[in-house]
Each structure stands twice: as structure tokens, then as C-alpha cells.
Structure 1
């Protein structure tokens, strides 16, 4: 994940070339109509930039939606937390877009195998998490680059996150915040019962991680990549996919790298 310089006006972020998408909330849809009234409406397929109006969850949905289009996404907060969003402001939007700082994000690729033999693949720009489905704890074996590193983790779950996602679910599970330039992936347990004192690990971004669910008939486990859920898994392979890139735009001095550093000093 790389944070870059301002994108520059040569990208052509002008009125009429901005596609506005909004979360299905009143405040977001009203903002979209107001912005379209000022700057015009453009189809996603013809846009030079996409402006997403909502919260972080909707921003993730938008990133997945526009991957194939290879257009940058600029979020404006019409939700709650808005860590991935810029402040909402309707004025001088084309100028702000031309001055925005770009961050290139690479997702994790999840390959999950279920008890029925089905194989499901999905991308995650925040994290891939394994979660118990029923009242009993999951039991999970963890292999890194083909080597067993934890023979049995009894837990509510475990997750591996991107640096950009390290401030989300990973942080809530007491995992470390990771700067974008660190090339590290936090591996964090969720309510670990055994080994009780294991707090997780920091892995190189090149790591190939394999989770194996144990006692699947008694302890069913689900895997979630951002908002894609696969239930009754047997194994989940996760690695960073650098062949996939999305560009997210931030206002000057409010770039994603700065936000991640500042979050570590929030009390």
C-alpha cells in the first residue's frame, strides 16, 4: 500500500466527469442530489472519479464496485465514523479533487473451502476474519508459509487485516495499528481462550496464511472478507494480492498515512 503525491489536474476531474454514489440513507441521498445539481450527473462507466457519500462501510462497497473501472474514489462523510472519508463540503469540489492526495491500496485475497467442498474467493480491503457460528468456540490451526505456527487456537475467531484496515475490526480486537508503508499484516485473535496469552503476530505482506478449522462438525466456523461471508469453512487461505489496486483520494494533509499515525495517539 503506497501513499502518493497529489493526483494533479491532468486527471481531468472536472464538473460533468464526477459520478456520485450514495448510501441508502436520507442524509446521503439528499447530499447526492444536491451535488448533482451543482456539478452534473455522470455514469460510473464514463467517470474520471467517483465520489462516495456515506460512511466507511459504504466506502468499502464502492471500492469493490469500481475495481473493474480503475477509477479513483473520493469519499465524503455522510455516515458515522468516516475514517476513510473526507469532510463533507459541496464547494469547489473539482478543485479539491485535483489537489487530493492518492493512496493506492492492495486487498487481501481469501480462498475458502467449505465442508461441502465448495470453493469461494473474495477480496478484502479491511480484513479477513474467521468467526464461530454457534455457542462453542472455534478451534483453528494457523500455518504461515506452509509451516504450522499455532497448532490449535480456541477462540471466538481470528482475523488478518491490511494496514488500511488495521484501525477497524483489528483495533477493536486489540490488534496493532500498522502504518501503510510498513508492509506488514496484523494477525489478531478474537477473544482467545487457549492459548490465553497469545496476542497475535505481525506478518510480512508477502506471507501466505492458511487457517484450518478443527472439529468442524461440532464447532462450525464462518469466514468473512469485508462483507462477503462464507459459512461452514474447512480452510481459508489468505494472501495480499498486489495485482489488484484501488486508488482512494484524501484532502491534503489528511491522507491515509497521516490518519493512521494520528489514530495511534488518540486517547
Structure 2
């Protein structure tokens, strides 16, 4: 039997945030391991914080190349520890975490529709000192006739430890196939704490009194102002892959976060 041909070397694209320590790390790693463009890469190594990881994933929506993050920023929940040695070995045994983004379709006051994708959450926020008034539909049924609040969001499991957690929403295991519907500073009904929804649920927000109480809608960093209606659903046809060190998977991070004081 003839021996198997050797595997071609792994093609890595190193990308970095604008932080000096991230840019410097990219230069050293590219010199050591070689670097190609993201379009030609087998894997993308993102150097920065969680915000830059989200930016890299958004930039990679069409290619869907796996992304391995290393923390060179201020927040690193989505990142692996930074270490210049043994990178190829780490990539070879890294665990794969697949996430599906949310689709946001937002109608503005002029009737135009704006669409965006969110890896973490779609959030609605009041634009002025006036509280927002929202009506919430789930799968074509009105579930909350009027929510008076600073805002409301739909968060993915991957995003449940981000803004959603800060708004006292639940942390969701990645394999739960659940979305979190979480109010932001609810005033009426004051005791409403949100809901857990099937990942197949279709959520619709109607903005009540939009002229008096203007509201913006944001899909991660894509913002639409003066919205009158926002529809949110999961895009199962889009799959993004994050890579994590085998010793500390993303699932383990989410579980551990629930026991942090």
C-alpha cells in the first residue's frame, strides 16, 4: 500500500483590532506561522476582544471560515488565551462551536425596511427621555399588548452572556435551541421578567406612539433609528464556526458563568 500524501500546511489568516498590542501580535504571529488573506484561509485567527470577534464573524458570513480568537482586548469571553507558542497544535485539537445568527427586519418611520444579522442580540432602545411603548407578538399572536420600558431584546444562546445578562436575562446553554426575550428596565408590567422562546419562534415588536416615543433597533452593531416595527427570527441556514481550546470549550465557559458570583 502506498503511503498517504502529506497534508498541505494549514493556511492561516491573522486579523487584528486597532489596539497596538493586537497589531503587534499579528505581526509576530504572521512572521512565525505565515499568513494569507481571509479569502484564502483554512482558519482565521482573530486578535482582539469580544467586539472584534463579532466583527470578524460578521465579515466572514459569506465564507464561513472557522475563527479562532485570542484575547488582545479588554473583554475576552469569546476568546482563547493569548499564547504565541504551539498555535498549530492548539488549532488541530480545538473544539468547534456552531452558532446561528438572528435576522432583523426593521421598518422605519418612512416605511423603508432595513435588514441586519445579529450574532449576539437584536435590541430595541428608547431614543429620548420618554419610555418606549412596545407591543410584542410571538408567531402571529399578541403576547404582550403593551410593554412600557427602556427597551427589549431577543438574544441568542451565544449572546445570552453579553447584554442579555447585564439586563438580568437568563444564560442559555448553546445546545438548548432557545432564544431569550428580555426587557430592559421594564416599568409596566413591572414584574415581567421576559420569556424563553423556541429557536423557531418569530418575534415581532410594534412601536406604539413612535412619534412621541421614538425607538431604535440594533442587530449587534447595525442600528436603525425611528423604527415602527421590528421582526426577528433565527437563520438556521447560516452557520458560523468558532474554535475554542479543547481544555476550555465555549459550553464550559457558559456553564461556569452561571456559577460566578
| C-alpha distance in structure 2 between counterparts of 1:56 and 1:212, whole Å | 31
Counterpart of 1:30 in structure 2 is 24
Q: Which of 206, 209, 218 in structure 1 is aligned with 2:212?
A: 218
Q: Which of 35, 52, 58 in structure 1 is aligned with 2:52?
A: 58
> Once the two structures are superposed, what CA deviation does each residue of 1:20-41 show, in whole Å capped at 9, x if it has no partner?
0000111110110111111112
1:261 aligns with 2:255: yes
CA contact under 8 A between 1:13 and 1:49: conserved in structure 2?
no
CA contact under 8 A between 1:13 and 1:98: conserved in structure 2?
no
CA contact under 8 A between 1:13 and 1:48: conserved in structure 2?
no
| C-alpha distance in structure 2 between counterparts of 1:13 and 1:252, whole Å | 23
Q: TM-score, normalised by structure 2?
A: 0.96
Query: Which segments of structure 1 move beyond 2 Å, counting only runs of 4 or more?
Result: 12-15
Q: Which of 142, 153, 160 in structure 2 is aligned with 1:166?
A: 160
Q: TM-score, normalised by structure 1?
A: 0.94
Secondary structure of the residue aligned to 1:166 is coil
| C-alpha distance in structure 1 between counterparts of 2:52 and 2:73, whole Å | 9
> Once the two structures are superposed, what CA deviation does each residue of 1:49-101 show, in whole Å capped at 9, x if it has no partner?
00000000000000000111121000000011200000000111111101100
Q: Which of 64, 73, 95 in structure 2 is aligned with 1:79?
A: 73
Please, which runs of 5 or more residues in structure 2 have no aligned partner? 1-6
Q: Which has the larger radius of gyration?
A: 2
| C-alpha distance in structure 2 between counterparts of 1:60 and 1:22, whole Å | 12
Counterpart of 2:42 in structure 1 is 48
| C-alpha distance in structure 1 between counterparts of 2:94 and 2:77, whole Å | 16
Secondary structure of the residue aligned to 2:185 is strand
Secondary structure of the residue aligned to 1:67 is coil
Q: Which of 207, 210, 224 in structure 1 is aligned with 2:201?
A: 207
| C-alpha distance in structure 1 between counterparts of 2:190 and 2:149, whole Å | 9
1:154 aligns with 2:148: yes
> Once the two structures are superposed, what CA deviation does each residue of 1:231-263 show, in whole Å capped at 9, x if it has no partner?
000100001100001110000031111111110
1:119 aligns with 2:113: yes
> Once the two structures are superposed, what CA deviation does each residue of 1:119-159 show, in whole Å capped at 9, x if it has no partner?
01111010000000011000000000000000000000000
Q: How far off is 1:13 after superposition? A: 8.5
Q: Which of 144, 161, 180 in structure 1 is aligned with 2:174?
A: 180
| C-alpha distance in structure 1 between counterparts of 2:43 and 2:182, whole Å | 34
Q: Which of 186, 193, 196 in structure 2 is aligned with 1:192?
A: 186
* Matching of residues 75-114 of structure 1 within 5 Å: 75-114=69-108
Counterpart of 1:7 in structure 2 is none
Secondary structure of the residue aligned to 1:194 is coil
Q: Which of 238, 244, 249 in structure 1 is aligned with 2:232?
A: 238
CA contact under 8 A between 1:141 and 1:212: conserved in structure 2?
yes
Secondary structure of the residue aligned to 1:257 is helix
